[in-house]
Each structure stands twice: as structure tokens, then as C-alpha cells.
């Protein structure tokens, strides 16, 4: 992702270091990336979250 500048890895053995290093070759499918994006999406802060809910609520729109 463009926002990720670096990854910090730690290890306590050479085997663990090799495992961590091998993870750099990991390629995620589009579905896996979408799933990760969905669960890690930042929350919309107030008042934008309130405005978005209000605009999508038919009952609220009916009183305008």
C-alpha cells in the first residue's frame, strides 16, 4: 500500500529471521487485499459519520 513506508520485523533465532524474510515474497490475491482493506478501514470521524448517516436515512430526508 502506498501509505505503508516500512515494516518492522523482529526475531530471536536465525530460523525466525528466515521465515520473516521469506514473507516479503508473499503476494495476496485481490480478494485477500479487499478483505484486509475492509477490516482495517479507518472509522469516519464525527461529524462526517453523523452527516453520512443522516444523508442516507430516508426518515431524516422526509423532514427536510
Q: How far apart are CA 22 and CA 14, in angstroms?
A: 12
Q: How far apart are CA 21 and CA 63, in angstroms?
A: 58
pTM of the full structure: 0.48
Q: How far apart are CA 54 and CA 58, in angstroms?
A: 8
In the chain, % of residues over pLDDT 70: 91
Q: Can you give the pLDDT of all 64 residues of the chain as single tens digits?
A: 667 667 777 889 999 999 888 888 889 999 999 999 999 888 888 988 888 888 888 777 777 6
Amino acid at each position: 500500500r502506498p501509505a505503508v513506508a516500512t515494516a518492522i520485523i523482529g526475531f530471536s533465532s536465525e530460523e525466525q529471521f528466515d521465515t520473516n524474510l521469506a514473507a516479503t515474497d508473499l503476494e495476496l490475491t485481490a480478494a485477500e487485499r479487499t478483505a484486509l482493506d475492509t477490516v482495517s478501514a479507518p472509522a469516519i470521524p464525527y461529524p462526517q459519520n453523523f452527516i453520512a448517516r443522516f444523508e442516507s436515512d430516508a426518515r431524516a430526508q422526509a423532514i427536510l
